[in-house]
Structure 1
Amino acid sequence: MLVCHCNLITEKEIEQTIVGLLDSDPWQLIVPAKVYHALKKRGRCCGCFPNVVETIIRVTEDYHRRLGEGGETEIVPFLDRVRGLRGQYGSSSHEGRKTDHRAA
């Protein structure tokens, strides 16, 4: 599935990049900018970043479950807090546009 239309990046490429980053340091903080830097791309419109964040969370959860490190008690509550922050600060602002914003 195509995640970033500006750079033509697929979900599989993002997942492989995240796993590669986790292989080098399993407990590092991975953000979309780090993923794009590893892919030698840059965010243009950044509309895909919320989907990249969800992919980072999903792949990180799966990675740590496979390793068996930390156990469910440490991994899941932390990632649930990240999801909560995304809901709190995420897409509710509509990129700073007012409700009467028009493209033309």
Structure 2
Amino acid sequence: MLICHCNIITEREIEQTIVGLLDQDPWQLIVPAKVYHAMMKRGRCCGCFPNVVETIIRVTEEYHARSETGATDVVSHLDRVRALRDQFGRKLNERRSTSHRAA
């Protein structure tokens, strides 16, 4: 699926980049700008960033579920990330209505 129309980036490319970053350091903070920097791209309109955040969370959960780390650490961390996203991230989304988002 095409995530970023400005740079023509697919979901698979983003997932592979996230896994590559997690292979370097499984507990690093991954944000959309870090993913784009690793892909040598830049966010142009940044309308895809909410979808990239959802992909980061999903891929990180799957990555840590496959690894040998304790599941309680992963769940508590991701719950805090989701709570912050709900608290701060969903009010205004680049001043776009939800009908203009892909997800």
Bin of the TM-score, shorter chain as denominator length: 0.7 to 0.9
After TM superposition, give the deviation of residue 68 of structure 1 in Å: 1.9
Q: Give % identity.
A: 75
Structure of greater relative contact order (alpha carbons < 8 Å, 6+ residues apart):
2
**Deviation at 1:94?**
4.0
Deviating beyond 6 angstroms after TM superposition, the runs of 4 or more aligned structure 1 residues are none
User: Which secondary structure state, in structure 2, belongs to the residue aligned with residue 13 of structure 1?
Assistant: helix
Give 1 or 2 for the bigger CA radius of gyration. Answer: 1
Letter in 2 for 1:93: L
Gaps of 5+ in 1: 98-104
Corresponding position of 2:43: 43
TM-score (norm 2): 0.87
**TM-score, normalised via structure 1 length:** 0.86
Q: Name 1:26's counterpart in structure 2.
A: 26
Cα RMSD (Å): 1.3
Contact persistence 2:47–2:94 (CA under 8 A): no
